[in-house]
Amino acid sequence: MPRISCSAAIHQQIGISIFHMKTTLAHQLADYTCAQRFEDLSKEVVHEVKRRVIDSLGCALGAWKEEPFLIARKLAADFSAKHGSTIFGTDHKAPPDWAAFANGCAIRYFDFNDTYLSKEPAHPSDNISPALAVAESIGAGGRELITAIALAYEVQCRLCDAASIRERGWDHVTYGTFSTALAAAYLMKLDPAKTRHAVNIAGVAGAAMRQARAGELSHWKGVAFATAARHGVFAALLAREGMTGPAPIFEGEMGFEKQLGVSLGNVGEKFRGAPAMILKTSIKYWPAEYHSQSAIEAALFLRSQIDDLSKIKGVVIESHDAAVDIIGSEPEKWKPKTRETADHSLPYITAIALIDGEVTDRQFGPQRFKDPGVWKFLENVKVERHAELSAMYPEAVGNIVHVDLADGRRLTRRVDYPLGNAKNRLKDSAVEGKFLGLVEPVIGERRAKKIIELVWKLDEAKNVDGLVQAMKMTNDQGMIE
């Protein structure tokens, strides 16, 4: 076997290193991002992006008076930018990363925006706030915005497919730092090198603790992704100006995989062709954590068969492991003391659907979730694991609700694919109805319908100025007509 000279060996090793560096996940993500074109998106994807923008803006405007959004927009109002982005409902333009944060708090507050379930669950419409903020700040058109949103969905959902990080104590919004940085980089038209640096900068300080969703929940449950989005946009802004970031951010000795204790495998090879993962995500029909949606549907069905609530002796909810682990096992879920805990409590959500016969924002007010009578009812609500439902997850998101009556009868309802699920899609009219229900009380019917009209024509818009202006309020209390 011929000997290789020291010089040749060094050059060979350098060649291997260069080859390895060019095939890192950050390189693959950057190349994929820079290759995207609106013309390559399917009609179905374009239409679905519009539906999610309508849905997300509805959630945001519906939360106009809610405390986290009040706090966020008050804080953002202290900062202005020459090329800024509008805080929803106002005429104030803040730096795009601040707008991404404030508007993201609004979209997420009601826990009513869409969902993707996989090894890691997520709310991919959280990406819409940062994409819209960047689009406005640089004057991008509707087609560019639609492409950026589809791209962000693709990145976040495929990372969620690759590995669970919540099992290791990290929050799902960690993946959002990458998806938002890439969406921002696409809109800013960064080249592959600068796009890669945006990913590197976003990743090195983007890991978020899962404590945001453990025990008694706080405002931060709905603010965590907004923070990730702000960081992702800021990373892209820095990269645009020439800031470099540490690499390889995923595979490195002290990189993402090593620090979070996961392997992303060959996820980079999944990024081929035009983005389409948005078609696998689901819209919420009720304002509560997604794993409870089928339990709500089942409970409302059973409620119609019960003429006297005093006849209910007990309730048993059989669910899959993810639902039990996330929203059905901690003691705080049986005595919720915050809205965030209540809308992440499988026993409370199911019980209140049975008691009130509806699940709306009203059911998550303190007067309901702290009601002693409700807490007394919850003492007889049990959550149990169901092997078949666990095996079907995440393709199905099932719950079985049993209501035991005083006369010995047991009423049972099982729902695997709740309304709004990717396999049980809401009609466009239902998406619009959800939007109008949230927004009409805030800005009136005429202006609410105008926003819907603008979103359906988003691919024809030269910029997004008209859309953000259509959401303007007069003040925190009044409507404008």
> What one-character DSSP code corresponds to residue 165?
S
How far apart are alpha carbons 145 and 127 in whole angstroms?
11
Residue 279, helix vs strand vs coil = helix
Cβ neighbors of 478 (< 8 A, separation 6 or more) are none
- pLDDT given for residue 480 in this prediction: 40
Amino acid identity of residue 465, one-letter, is D
Q: What is the pLDDT of residue 68?
A: 95
Report mean pLDDT in 10-residue bins for the chain, 481 residues. Answer: 42 42 88 98 98 98 95 96 96 97 96 95 97 98 98 98 95 97 98 98 95 92 96 98 98 96 96 97 96 98 94 97 95 94 97 96 94 97 98 96 97 98 97 97 96 98 97 60 37
CATH numbers and ranges of domains, the chain: 25-280 (1.10.4100.10), 290-415 (3.30.1330.120)
Q: What are phi and psi of 463, to 5 degrees?
A: -155, 180
Specify the residue for token string 């038209």: 189
Give the residue among 286, 304, 306, 305 at the shortest CA–CA distance from 296: 286
d(CA 1, CA 481): 85
Strand partners, 415: 399
DSSP 460: G
| Structure tokens belonging to residue 91 | 């005429």
Render pLDDT for 152-200 as a digit per residue (tens, 0 to 9).
999 999 999 999 999 999 999 999 999 999 999 999 999 999 999 999 9
Taking the CA atoms of 234, 237, 241 and 246 in sequence, report the sign of the dihedral they define: positive
CA dihedral 316, 423, 122, 345 (to 10 degrees): -20
Instruction: DSSP letter for 214, please.
Output: S
Strand bridging mode 381-385 / 312-319: parallel
Buried b (16+ CB within 10 A) or exposed e, 416-442: bbbbbbbeebbeeeebbebbbebbbeb
Angle at which helices 43-62 and 445-456 cross, to 10°? 150
Phi first, then psi: what are they for 447, rounded to 5°? Answer: -70, -35
37 DSSP 8-state letter: -
309: its two tokens:
């609530």
Q: What is the pLDDT of residues 302-341, one digit of tens each?
A: 999 999 999 999 999 999 999 999 999 999 999 999 999 9
The two structure tokens encoding residue 116: 């993707």
H/E stretch holding 437 reads helix 428-443
